[in-house]
Structure 1
Amino acid sequence: MIMKLPVAQPVPLADLAPGFRLRAIGVAGAGFPSPAQDWEEDAINLSELLRLDRAGSFVFRIDGNSMVDAGISDGDVVVVDRDVTPRSGHIVIAVIGGGFVCRQLTRRGGVPYLEARNSRQRYPEQIADDTTEVWGVVRAGVRDFQR
């Protein structure tokens, strides 16, 4: 089943208010205490970190679980580049049947496919043909761990 996102036009992120910064507390090790605990940076600019200040960068919120095995879950936010040439293996945003979907672009026997990445559910096979527009390539993701 292809989940359609609400119909809306993506908005370029290049118009974000400049200088939005979050205060960094420090580095947190994800296993053992970090040897960089004394590392300090005054602030993190999310626009710079996620490279959102580019004219070709857009943000989408994911609706559905078709990409959970690729690490993209329902409600996640992905940063999409329109000015990157999609290649086999890339996670992409495509337009299918008038709606945006998130899929992995693959090639089998020279034929491009858009494949869901959820081993617990079956999705229809989708050939990336003339009726399909690969809109952009997913570059980064953001997840709210409190939802």
Structure 2
Amino acid sequence: MAGQRGGSRDGAGRKPLYDEPTKVVRVPESRVIEIKNYLAESTKTKFNDIASITLVNPSSVMSIPLASEKVAAGFPSPAQDYIDKTLDMNEHLIKNEAATFIVKVASLSMRDAGIEIDDELIVDRSIEAKHEDIVIALIDNEFTVKRLMIESDDNRWLKAENPEYSDIHLQDGQEMLIWGVVTFVIKPFRKR
């Protein structure tokens, strides 16, 4: 079979190092190691449990019909087919627009609290965190999502809701900044 050699094959060739196109540039030889080190650092994960943080911009109103009757977990009665009013999702989910962010989860450390990878958390930075709130915390320049445990003014720690992950107890010199309080979890129950 002449002429059947070569060509592209699935999985063949160099694997991409970055999530975007690259470009060839000339750099001074004396800076090559510095640039390689910079690129290696830039590909490391910056967050522990958080994939992304996005400011909420509720620029439009989305009104969804709200049933006038509460729904049982069984089959609803045909008599419950009445819609009394609509619900604006922005008003329902966002209390303080300027302080609300959507945070995408990147680990299973809160799995047993119903928070999984790629779930989106609505986080309000204007709320004061209380004992057992689920919070976004910043420790050693890394974000994490955990349950805040307050035993006293000077004994605050973060509880993982998955036995495969460790709780976080601050060591000497470590500081914890509560970045925001999780108010809602947005997750699909049906895959598209």
Alignment match, 2:5: none
CA distance in structure 1 between the aligned counterparts of 2:167 and 2:64, rounded to whole angstroms: 42
Alignment match, 2:106: 63
Matched residues, number: 142
Match of residue 135, structure 2, among 65, 69, 92: 92
Are 2:143 and 1:137 equivalent residues in the alignment? no
Instruction: Provide structure 1 residue ranges, at least 5 long, that are not aligned to the other structure.
Output: none
Instruction: Provide structure 2 residue ranges, at least 5 long, that are not aligned to the other structure.
Output: 1-46
CA distance in structure 1 between the aligned counterparts of 2:87 and 2:138, rounded to whole angstroms: 33
Equivalent position SS for 1:127: coil
- How far off is 1:77 after superposition? 1.1
Aligned identity (percent) is 27
CA distance in structure 2 between the aligned counterparts of 1:45 and 1:39, rounded to whole angstroms: 18
- Retained in 1: the 8 A contact 2:124–2:180? yes
Match of residue 150, structure 2, among 107, 114, 119: 107
Change (3 A) 1:23 1:90: same
- Retained in 1: the 8 A contact 2:53–2:102? no
- Retained in 2: the 8 A contact 1:94–1:103? yes
Q: Report the TM-score when normalising by structure 2.
A: 0.61
1:103-122 CA distance string (max 9 Å, x none): 00003465100111103x03
Q: RMSD of the TM alignment (CA)?
A: 3.0
- How far off is 1:134 after superposition? 0.7
Q: Which has the higher contact order (CA 8 A, sep 6+)?
A: 1
- The one-letter code matched in structure 1 to 2:133 is H
Name the structure where helix makes up a greater proportion of residues: 2
- How far off is 1:18 after superposition? 2.8
